[in-house]
Structure 1
């Protein structure tokens, strides 16, 4: 009813305003005027009803929004209460933790002081013991060093005597055979010099007694129209081979030499590398020699 009273007043105002704007028309009848007036009133009433409906919907939305705001406010108040309780609990826990930490630190300081005193006493004893041990060790080392010096001096003198390098040199001639087969060793039977006793005239082999660099030389004679195949051999390996053939005159002299780095007990000799190897000439013209030139 309260809503209808304003509507009625509004309709009356609209009616008076409409009548005031209407011009007098002598030709229009009274009923025609009333019909047009009623039509306008109905249209205005429909407009007002529409406005009232929209106003009610707006009121409903506003009330819903207010209700949601009240609910959000209640939730926020609950959250604030929970945060206050959590803050109180956290403050209590922090205070308890700090008090416990302070107590532990106090206990740790007391323990450190006690430990420092104990360690200091042990350290002093350890240092004294170490100094005593060092002093004894130094005295023992001094005594041992003196003994070691004397021993080294004696050993040095012995080594000097042992380091005397022997003079290694040999020269032999006069082959046992002048006609040789393949693989046959040439045995020079006449030994002119054999310093170091490395050459064996029974086998024709030189055995190394002092390792080092050696120079070996072979001289041999070849008769006219004969062939000679020889090689200086080291440990079964032909180091320096030689081939010769005299094509003019009665005979010709040839030679070969090689450097060999030999180890202790290595063996070097001269051998024939082909069948029907022929040598010729007097004894001095066929020889085998060697010498140690560097250690």
Structure 2
């Protein structure tokens, strides 16, 4: 390509000489060298521009690569932050849920402890109307028994919950009969006395308040033997009753 350019320049230079005879060999050589130098200079300039362009392109590409890497790093950091945020958020939510559940449990326990359980019973109808000394008076017909603590087969109340209890008894005696009674807890007498009236059939009442623990037992006991014959009187009509009863209630835990 360069040779073709040189030959073309030589041809042009020869054609521009009006008097070929007067143009010396050195004249053409000078012209040819001058043109070649100009072409070489332009080529060098073009090469420099191309080199500069390539350098700028490489610099730009390197810069883009760095920006791309920085962007990727920022994306990864953002993902890690979001992951940490999610973990921390889940942990926070889990902690709050556990605290809330614990609070609910504690609140329920407090309310449960504050509320007095429904423990109350009442039974009537004495099984043995002529009890002997030391005998437990069994009231065999249950009127109600919330808490299932009274046993109508033994006449004994077994404490289901620690607390303060109130027990009451009513006994109706036949004329001229006596009944020596004791309301006892685990064989400790809490209330005792004697019921007697020689003039008529009368019902008497007695009560006892006790602070008891789970498992303790309470019953009505005959402290002394009675004369022969039925001591207790039972009578039921649609309008009037002579009932022998034993009842108890949990007052406070």
Out of 258, 261, 268, the position equivalent to 2:208 is 258
1:281 pairs with 2:234: yes
Unpaired stretches in structure 2, ≥5 consecutive residues:
1-87, 237-241
Answer 1 or 2: which has greater strand percent.
2
- Judge conservation of contact 2:116–2:252 (CA < 8 Å) in 1: no
**TM-score in terms of structure 1 length:** 0.47
Q: CA shift at 1:211, angstroms?
A: 1.3
- Which residue matches 2:102? 152
Rounded to whole Å, the distance in 1 between the matches of 2:175 and 2:96 is 75
Q: CA shift at 1:262, angstroms?
A: 1.1
**TM-score in terms of structure 2 length:** 0.55
Aligned length: 154
- Which residue matches 1:47? none
- Which residue matches 1:272? 222
The structure whose Rg is larger is: 1
For the residue of structure 2 that corresponds to 1:189, the secondary structure is strand
- Judge conservation of contact 2:116–2:251 (CA < 8 Å) in 1: no
Answer 1 or 2: which has greater helix percent.
1
- Which residue matches 2:167? 216
Give the 5 Å matches for 1:206-245.
Answer: 206-245=157-196
Unpaired stretches in structure 1, ≥5 consecutive residues:
1-138
Rounded to whole Å, the distance in 1 between the matches of 2:235 and 2:193 is 20
Out of 197, 210, 222, the position equivalent to 2:148 is 197
User: Aligned-pair RMSD on alpha carbons?
Assistant: 2.5
Rounded to whole Å, the distance in 2 between the matches of 1:213 and 1:161 is 18
Q: CA shift at 1:156, angstroms?
A: 2.7
Rounded to whole Å, the distance in 1 between the matches of 2:189 and 2:111 is 37
Q: Which has the higher contact order (CA 8 A, sep 6+)?
A: 2
Q: CA shift at 1:155, angstroms?
A: 3.2
- Cα shift readout 1:250-287 (whole Å, capped 9, x = no counterpart): x1111101111111111111010001262223365210
1:174 pairs with 2:125: yes
- Cα shift readout 1:163-216 (whole Å, capped 9, x = no counterpart): 464311101000100001110000000000101111100000111111111110
